[in-house]
Amino acid sequence: MKTNRNIVLVLGALLGALVGVAAGHSLLKRAEQGDRPMLTAAEGISLGTLVVGLLRQISTLGDE
């Protein structure tokens, strides 16, 4: 059973890293095109709320 847990943790870490790389790549492309990516406090709070909501949804997967 411990092996399954380790596999899930490793896959989750890899998926998170891939999403982070994709987000960084997207921001860099925007910056290279001359669009300065500005993040306001309201947008930061909104983004943080969305991430927390996503994590809550993931944690309830499989619940009945």
pLDDT value of residue 1: 62
Classify residue 39 as left (phi > 0), alpha (psi -120 to 50) or beta.
Answer: beta
Question: 44 or 18, which is more confident?
Answer: 18
The pLDDT tens digits for 1-32 are 677 888 989 999 999 999 999 988 988 888 88
pLDDT value of residue 18: 96
Mean per-residue pLDDT over the chain, rounded: 88
Instruction: Report, as an integer, the average pLDDT of 29-40.
Output: 81
> How far, in Å, are 25, 51, 63 from residue 30 at the CA level?
9, 22, 40
Q: Is the pLDDT of residue 37 over 90?
A: no
